[in-house]
Amino acid sequence: MEENGKPLSFFQHGMMPQEETLDREKKGKRFVIGLPVESDPHETRISLTPQAVHLLTEGGHRVLIERGAGRGAKFSDHDYSEAGGELVDGKACVFEASVILKVSPLTRQEIELLGPGKTILTSLHLATRDESYFLDLIKHKVTAIAFELIEDDAQQLPVLRSMCEIAGTVAVNLGAVLLSSENNGKGVMLGGITGITPTEVVILGAGTAAESAARTALGMGAIVKVFDRSITNMRSLKQFLGQGIFTSVMHPPVLKRAFETADLVISTLQRLHEDSFFMISEDIIMSMKPGSVLIDIFVDQGSSFETAVYASQEDPVFIRHGVVHYMVPNLPAKVARTASIALSNVLMPILLDKGRCGGILQLVKDDWGVRKGVYLYNGILTNELIGNQFGITSKDIDLLLSAF
């Protein structure tokens, strides 16, 4: 294919003259990446695996790793040093990097270590942020990219989708453990064996986490019932999983009958706005069989269950009306190595593209999927949702980039 006599080459969702592409690659910029230890003791994931660090250092980039950063995911300091990473002591050294990668949002103390022109890639966890958090980032004139807002070529959210897949599977496996006699459960095996009626699993929601949970429960031999507000979502789920699941819209009488016979109930509903969740009343939960189990994947956004309270990692299980409740968020951290690999698989290509593009400005201009994840650009808020929620002025990132 040619344009004005010049051969064209694909580059980041578009085409440009091959000479310009080659010139861009020659100007590839080397940069420094920092991987600090997570400040949250329950966050065991890390953003880059040693294999990803190896690819980045082979590309000429430097990666600074605070000692012990990979311990929760069972990646040793030796693994990272062998991959070409540079081990450092203390967060101050790591935050000298131009790009900081961290799974959980930065703490206020960590934000104070940032200087103008830095780029941070972290989770946003908007439901747990406040106005002062964003004002602090704005004051330090950083560029901030949220993992969960980055989109791929198919306009999907690859990080969020991966973590939801993991959470759905972990929830079913966790439910199987909580149903055992030693955990005050019903003392039944999730699934079933010959001559015994299979256990019943009720799933609220029909998104990615629900699909993963349903697939895992079906594979273990359970009867699966899925409830959602959207007929379209349930139809898609049934097409993916086959005819072996029961689906229904959220009619309270139907829900109540399902809860009365359920052994395990998993909520995958996200309470992002007051009108975006379905509250399961205490009366419905009182109708459940003693020893049955409730798990809420997104309890940190506000639970779907009226009887739920936000539990801690130290004391994650409580019993109310004879029903076992597990209300602890961040299920992917329970399988930190798998979750870290999934996260690294998304982030590593973005970082390599940043180098080839010559910097964050050109990467954000070229890659609309990464641009979707940017909520601060050089200290300017670019996410309208955040601006409206906290009363902070925001600017359209496309208009902002056109000025550069």
How far apart are alpha carbons 301 and 298 in whole angstroms? 6
The pLDDT assigned to 404 comes to: 65
**pLDDT(276) > 70:** no
Tell me the catalytic residues: 125, 300
Q: What is the pLDDT of residues 307-334, one digit of tens each?
A: 988 777 788 899 999 999 999 888 999 9
Provide the 3-class DSSP secondary structure of residue 149: helix
Query: What DSSP string describes 192-237?
Result: --TTSPPPEEEEE--SHHHHHHHHHHHHTT-EEEEE-S-HHHHHHH
Q: At 289, give phi and psi (nearest 5°).
A: -75, 140
Q: For the chain, which domains are there?
A: 2-156+335-402 (3.40.50.720), 164-326 (3.40.50.720)
Q: Name the pairing type of β-strands 323-326 and 380-381.
A: unpaired
**pLDDT(28) > 80:** no
The pLDDT assigned to 278 comes to: 63
| Whole-model pTM over 0.95 | no
Per-residue burial over 151-162, b = 16 or more CB atoms within 10 Å of its CB, e = otherwise = beeeeebbbbbb
- Min mean pLDDT across 90-94, 106-110, 327-331 is at 327-331
Q: Where are the beta strands (DSSP E) in 32-107?
A: 32-35, 62-66, 86-88, 99-101
Confidence of residue 17 (pLDDT cuts 50, 70, 90): very low
Report the pLDDT averaged over residues 229-247: 89
Higher local confidence (pLDDT), 112 or 400:
112
Q: What is the pLDDT of residues 144-153, one digit of tens each?
A: 999 999 999 8
Catalogue the long-range contacts made by 129-135 (C-beta closer than 8 Å, 24 or more residues apart). 129/105, 130/390, 131/390, 131/391, 131/392, 133/105, 133/108, 134/376, 134/381, 134/386, 134/390, 134/392, 135/392
Mean pLDDT of the chain: 88
Q: Which two tokens stand for residue 279?
A: 């509250």
Q: Which two tokens stand for residue 120?
A: 């941070």
Cβ neighbours for 350, distance < 8 A, ≥ 6 positions apart: 121, 150, 363, 367, 370
Report the pLDDT averaged over residues 68-74: 97
The pLDDT assigned to 277 comes to: 55
Query: What DSSP string describes 91-129?
Result: HHHHTTSSEEE-SSPPPHHHHTT--TT-EEEE---GGG-
Confidence of residue 13 (pLDDT cuts 50, 70, 90): very low
Report the pLDDT averaged over residues 168-177: 97
How far apart are alpha carbons 119 and 126 in whole angstroms? 18
Report the pLDDT averaged over residues 12-23: 40
**pLDDT(378) > 80:** yes
Report the pLDDT averaged over residues 105-131: 91
**pLDDT(27) > 60:** no
The pLDDT assigned to 163 comes to: 95
Beta bridge partners of 280: 305
How far apart are alpha carbons 110 and 362 in whole angstroms? 27
**pLDDT(274) > 60:** no
Q: Which two tokens stand for residue 202?
A: 């009720």
